[in-house]
Amino acid sequence: METFYSNTYLIDKFLNKELLDFDKSENSNWEYSSLVEQLIYSKDQNELIDFADWLENFITTEKFYAFANKFIEIESILKTEQIGEKRTNLVKEKRKLIENIND
């Protein structure tokens, strides 16, 4: 999940899936879809097949779906939310979501 919140496009690129373009805030240069075009690893590499199988299974779990959906929801709202109490609360919620990633 840490990879997902760092760059939501990396997992799809690694698994050779279509990159889903979420309407979300990209707060750092590391979050852009264009960055993953340089990724040299993929599920097709022999030494990564076991990891790719594990990852394919993991991204279909309820835990991952819940995290990913909430993360994308918050990021989508943050994209247009003005500075103020609501934005502050969203940033806190996002931080808490990330801090509790291993729970």
Q: What tokens were used for 68?
A: 């990913």
Residues in the chain: 103
Instruction: Indicate if the pLDDT at residue 1 is higher than 70.
Output: no
pLDDT tens sequence across 15-51: 988 876 655 445 544 455 567 778 888 999 999 999 9
pLDDT at 5 over 60: yes
Angle between helices 85-99 and 62-78 (to 10 degrees): 150
Structure pTM? 0.74
Of 81, 83, 75, 70, which is closest to residue 21 (Cα–Cα)?
75
Q: What is the pLDDT of residue 46?
A: 96
Residues 82-93 as b/e (b if ≥16 CB within 10 A, e otherwise) read eeeeeeeebeeb
pLDDT of residue 20: 65
Stretch among 29-33, 53-57, 94-98 having the lowest mean pLDDT: 29-33
Extract the tokens encoding 83: 């500075």
